[in-house]
Amino acid sequence: MSTDISTADTFAAYVHEGRSSVAVLVIHGFTSTPGSVFLWAGAFEAAGYDVSVPLLEGHASRWEDMIGVPYTAWTGALEREYDRLARTHEHVVVAGISMGGALALHLGAVRRPDALLLVNPAVDGMPWFSFLSGVLAPFVKSTPAIGEDIARPGRKENSYDVTPTAAATQLRRLQKAVRRQLPGVVAPITLFHSVQDHVVPPASLRSLFAGLTPATRTRLRRIELHESYHVATLDWDAELINEASVRAVAESTGVAAGSGTAA
């Protein structure tokens, strides 16, 4: 693992731990790579916060490596990483994009993070064929790719060039589990939503709002992204996401950017 995110391997996990009392756990999406959230994580690091960007099992290698990986391997690994960070930090914030957003919500239900930062969270209806994936998987090993939905030229998340059908089944199971857990999420949420998203359908936000308690919905801060597609952390609105996210971390933890300790 690198200690300098600007030169880090975008296909590998990344951890930076200094002396901050705040750690931000940043989670990439389905069939994607840690590098898809490095600009986001780098903003937290530049603000003086510690960061951890795990590599989810089966990702950033060969698409075949996702076959046979249960979604509980992802939730379990993230719970362990959250617990590790919580042992050494007063505050832990969880951030995630797409499936990473669903996984962040899972952590919001089973742990007590100071805040959740979500970019186009995949809580429902993604990928579109997932309701058939269980039937298709024994016969159709892969389906068309769902990655690289980025408006900005020259930016790539380096996702798989196909979608493993069996993995889509696991994503569907994860989404179903997370929807059941939503009433248990009490952390303040900052939600970034791309107006043009070709991967996660509107049903995902409807399910998110329907599942959260009225108290959590009332505190939710929604920021619409008008210049970016699904992978907004690499798109035209990345700077907006970074700045608003750093502010949200400071507000939720009481630890100002650059200070490392509570004000």
- Name the band, by pLDDT with cuts 50, 70 and 90, for residue 147: confident
pLDDT at 139: 45
Burial of residue 158 (CB within 10 Å: 0-12, 13-18, 19+) is middle
Asked if 25 and 61 count as a contact pair (C-beta separation under 8 A), the reply is no
DSSP state, residue 56: -
Q: Verify whether residue 98 is a known catalytic residue.
A: yes
Per-residue model confidence (pLDDT) at position 125:
82
- Tell me the pLDDT of the chain averaged across its residues: 92
pLDDT of residue 2: 46
pLDDT greater than 70 at residue 76: yes
- Residue 255 predicted with pLDDT over 80: yes
Q: Is the dihedral of CA 6, 261, 113, 226 positive or negative?
A: negative
Q: What is the DSSP string of 84-100?
A: HHHHH-SEEEEEEETHH
pTM of the full structure: 0.93
Closest CA to 174 of 57, 83, 80, 263: 57
CA distances from 154 to 38, 134, 151 (A): 16, 35, 9
Catalytic residue among 50, 230, 237, 245: 230
Classify 9 as helix, strand or coil: coil
pLDDT at 124 over 70: yes
Look-up of token digits 């990473």: 100
Residue 132 has pLDDT above 80, yes or no: no
Question: Which candidate in 36, 98, 133, 142 is catalytic?
Answer: 98
- Record the tokens describing residue 110, joined without a space: 């089973």
Instruction: For residue 194, indicate whether it is catalytic.
Output: no
Catalytic residue of the set 124, 197, 235, 237: 197
pLDDT at 135 exceeding the cut of 80: no
- Is residue 230 annotated as part of the catalytic site, yes or no? yes
Q: Evaluate if residue 129 carries a pLDDT over 80.
A: no
